[in-house]
C-alpha cells in the first residue's frame, strides 16, 4: 500500500464535494480498525496522531504499522501529525515517515504563526510532505463558553494572510467547532466560513467532528471543508465496548478478545463518520 501526501486526497475531495475523514489513532488495534472499515467502505482515509499520540506510540512505529496492516489493501491513505505544536514535533513525524503534518501556531500572535508555519512549509514541502495550518483557536468543548467568543474564531483576513504568506496546503478553521463531546448541539458559523472561502482557495479542515450534526457537516463540505477530524467518538466507542464486555465477564483475561470488543465498537463509529463525510465508494 502506498502512503499518499495528504494533499492528493484533499484536492480530490475538494473538487468532488466530499470530505476525507481523519481518524486519531494511538495503537495497533485502532489502525487495524481504520484500515478494515476504509477497505469495506472503499473510502480514502487519513490516519492521524496528535503529537502526544506520536510520543506514546513512536512516529516510525505508527507508520510501519499502517504499512504492514494495509500491505495487501488497495487504499488511499495518508499519515498525518495532528496539532504539532513545535518544529521538533513536526521533524520527528517527518523523519518517521508521516506524509503530512499540522503545525498549530494558532495560540501565537499572527505574525509568529505565519513565520513558524512558513518554516515548516519550507522543509516539509522539500520532503514531499503536506502541511496543514490553523487559524482561530479550536479549543476543548470544556472551554466552550470562552472559545465561542469572537476572539477565538477564525478571521477571514488572517486566514488569507496565513494561506498566502506560508504556502500551506490546507487550513483548519475555528468556526464554532471544538474538541470533545459538545454540551449542547453546536452551531457552526457559516457566514464566517463563507467569508473565509471568499478569500482562501485551498481545502479547509474541520476539527472537532464528534457531535457535529450531519446537516451541518454536509453544509460545511459543500462550502469547501475537505477534511474532518474525529477522535472522541472513536475513543469513547472503543472504551465503552471494553467496559460492556468486562461488565459481563469481569474475570476475562483474554486480552486479545477484550481488545477486539473495543475494536468492534469503534468500527461502528468509523463507519458512521465515513457516511457523514460522504467519502464511501470514492476509490
Locate 83 and state its grid cell. 496539532
Candidate segments 5-13, 93-101, 127-135, 207-215, binder of ligand 13P by CB under 6 A: 207-215
In whole angstroms, how close is the CB of 253 to ligand 13P at the nearest point?
Answer: 31
In whole angstroms, how close is the CB of 254 to ligand 13P at the nearest point?
Answer: 29
Tell whether the torsion through CA atoms of 141, 144, 146 and 151 is positive or negative: positive
Pairing of strands 45-50, 100-103: unpaired
82 is catalytic: yes
**Of 229 and 261, which CB lies nearer to ligand 13P in the complex structure?**
229
Q: Residue 161 interacts with ligand 13P (CB under 6 A)? A: no
Asked if 105 and 117 touch (Cβ cutoff 8 Å), the reply is yes
Rounded Cα distance between 272 and 24, Å, is 15
Residue with grid cell 498566502, as numbered in its chain: 164
In whole angstroms, how close is the CB of 235 to ligand 13P at the nearest point?
Answer: 8
Q: Residue 179 interacts with ligand 13P (CB under 6 A)? A: yes
In whole angstroms, how close is the CB of 163 to ligand 13P at the nearest point?
Answer: 19
Candidate segments 71-79, 105-113, 156-164, 226-234, binder of ligand 13P by CB under 6 A: 226-234
Q: Which of 235, 217, 237, 236 has its CA nearest to residue 227?
A: 217
Q: Which of 47, 71, 84, 35 has its CA nearest to residue 227?
A: 47
Q: Residue 33 interacts with ligand 13P (CB under 6 A)? A: no
Asked if 278 and 253 touch (Cβ cutoff 8 Å), the reply is no
Tell whether the torsion through CA atoms of 268, 269, 274 and 278 is positive or negative: positive
**Of 159 and 212, which CB lies nearer to ligand 13P in the complex structure?**
212
Candidate segments 111-119, 208-216, 241-249, 250-258, binder of ligand 13P by CB under 6 A: 208-216
**Of 24 and 116, which CB lies nearer to ligand 13P in the complex structure?**
24
Candidate segments 38-46, 58-66, 158-166, 204-212, binder of ligand 13P by CB under 6 A: 204-212
For residue 118, what are the CA distances in angstroms to 108, 156, 235?
A: 14, 19, 33
Site for ligand 13P in 79-108 (CB under 6 A): 82-83
Residue 115, H or E segment: helix 110-126
Rounded Cα distance between 283 and 280, Å, is 8
Q: Which of 8, 72, 74, 82 is labelled catalytic? A: 82
In whole angstroms, how close is the CB of 12 to ligand 13P at the nearest point?
Answer: 21
Q: Residue 189 interacts with ligand 13P (CB under 6 A)? A: no
Locate 138 and state its grid cell. 479550536
Q: Which residues lie near ligand 13P (CB under 6 A)?
A: 24, 82-83, 179-180, 207-210, 229-233
Catalytically active residues are: 82
Amino acid at each position: 500500500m502506498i502512503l499518499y501526501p495528504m494533499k492528493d486526497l484533499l484536492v480530490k475531495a475538494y473538487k468532488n464535494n466530499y470530505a476525507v475523514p481523519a481518524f486519531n489513532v494511538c495503537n495497533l488495534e485502532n489502525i487495524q480498525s481504520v484500515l478494515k472499515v476504509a477497505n469495506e467502505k472503499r473510502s480514502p482515509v487519513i490516519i492521524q496522531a496528535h503529537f502526544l499520540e506520536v510520543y506514546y506510540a513512536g512516529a516510525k512505529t505508527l507508520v510501519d504499522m499502517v504499512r504492514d496492516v494495509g500491505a495487501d489493501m488497495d487504499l488511499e491513505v495518508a499519515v498525518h501529525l495532528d496539532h504539532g505544536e513545535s518544529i521538533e514535533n513536526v521533524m520527528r513525524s517527518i523523519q518517521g515517515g508521516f506524509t503530512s503534518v499540522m503545525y498549530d501556531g494558532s495560540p501565537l500572535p499572527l505574525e509568529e504563526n505565519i513565520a513558524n508555519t512558513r518554516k515548516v512549509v519550507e522543509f516539509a514541502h522539500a520532503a514531499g510532505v503536506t502541511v496543514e495550518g490553523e487559524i482561530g483557536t479550536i479549543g476543548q468543548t470544556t472551554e466552550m463558553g470562552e472559545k465561542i467568543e469572537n476572539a477565538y474564531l477564525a478571521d477571514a483576513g488572517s486566514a488569507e494572510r496565513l494561506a498566502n504568506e506560508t504556502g500551506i496546503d490546507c487550513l483548519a478553521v475555528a468556526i464554532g467547532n471544538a474538541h470533545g463531546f459538545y454540551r449542547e448541539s453546536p452551531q457552526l458559523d457559516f457566514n464566517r466560513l463563507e467569508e473565509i472561502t471568499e478569500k482562501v482557495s485551498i481545502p479547509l479542515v474541520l476539527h472537532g467532528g464528534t457531535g457535529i450534526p450531519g446537516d451541518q457537516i454536509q453544509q460545511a463540505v459543500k462550502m469547501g471543508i475537505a477534511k474532518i477530524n474525529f477522535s472522541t467518538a472513536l475513543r469513547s466507542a472503543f472504551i465503552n465496548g471494553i467496559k460492556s464486555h468486562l461488565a459481563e465477564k469481569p474475570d476475562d483475561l483474554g486480552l486479545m478478545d477484550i481488545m477486539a470488543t473495543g475494536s468492534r465498537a469503534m468500527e461502528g463509529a468509523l463507519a458512521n463518520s465515513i457516511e457523514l463525510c460522504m467519502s464511501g465508494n470514492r476509490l
